[in-house]
């Protein structure tokens, strides 16, 4: 119980709180510096994937026009997949 009281007293000590805050800030800055390049790369990768998907869809549509391909309507599963893909792409 005495240990808990000591911890409580330390928590009320502004100097101790400032030291802890400083340590937390330092840790945050370290983590931010470490993960910022990863976040940038992830964003660039998502952008490249989106661009590639759009180009692929355009190519498919052009090929379908060139060969006068008549497509059957999409199945429910295909419609769901297309909606999910559009949703993910709009998040980018």
SS3 readout for the chain: CHHHHHHHHHHHCHHHHHHHHHHHHHHHHHHHHHHHHHHHHHHHHHHHHHHHHHHHHHHHHHHHHHCCCCCCCCCHHHHHHHHHHHHHHHHC
Number of domains in the chain: 1
- Residue 39: per-residue pLDDT: 94
Please report the pLDDT score of residue 92 as a whole number: 57
Domain assignment of residue 87, given as a range: 2-68+76-91
Quote the pLDDT of residue 62.
86
Q: For residue 40, what pLDDT is reported? A: 95
Which parts of the chain register pLDDT below 70? 10-11, 70, 90-92
Q: What is the pLDDT of residues 42-57, one digit of tens each?
A: 999 988 988 898 899 8
């Amino acid at each position: 119980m005495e240990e808990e009281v000591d911890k409580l007293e330390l928590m009320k000590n502004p100097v101790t709180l400032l030291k802890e805050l400083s340590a937390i800030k330092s840790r945050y800055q370290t983590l931010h510096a470490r993960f910022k390049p990863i976040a940038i790369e992830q964003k660039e990768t998502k952008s490249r994937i989106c661009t590639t998907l759009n180009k692929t869809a355009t190519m498919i549509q052009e090929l379908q026009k060139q060969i006068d391909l008549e497509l059957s309507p999409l199945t429910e599963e295909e419609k769901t997949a297309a909606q999910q893909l559009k949703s993910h792409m709009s998040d980018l």
